[in-house]
Amino acid sequence: MRGTVEATEKALFVEYDPKRYANFTCTTCHGSGALNGKFKMPNPDLPKWPGGADAFRELKQRDPKMLTFMQLVIVPVTARLLGVKEFDMASHTGFSCFQCHTRG
């Protein structure tokens, strides 16, 4: 994982916000448990995500750059790196926000 997922994700996040993600490590996504070899996801240390259309509209208004980055870059790249299908709205299956973020 470190050689593929972490390296790729770090490059993407650093490109998105070099200052905020300068110290990107396993703990950035997996939380403090990664320090003890626990990589369970979703990670409750990440921002909670309520989901649903209202939440997406609110995030689009509050931080459209982050929403676009996560939807168009992180979700598809992470799904590909993990060898899983990206989220499909029609079937409501596949890799989505909730594989990383807990519901809030």
- Count how many domains the chain has: 1
Residue 8 lies in a domain: yes
61-84: buried (b, 16+ CB within 10 Å) or exposed (e) per residue?
Answer: eeeeeebebbbeebbebbbebeee
pLDDT digits (tens, 9 = 90+) for 20-65: 999 999 999 999 999 999 999 999 989 888 777 788 888 889 999 9
Structural domain boundaries, residue 8? 2-99
Residue 42 lies in a domain: yes
Residue 95 lies in a domain: yes
Q: Percent of the chain scored above 70 by pLDDT? A: 98
Residue 23 lies in a domain: yes
Q: Quick one: pLDDT at residue 30?
A: 94
Residue 104 lies in a domain: no
- In this predicted structure, the answer to whether residue 3 has a pLDDT above a threshold of 70 is yes
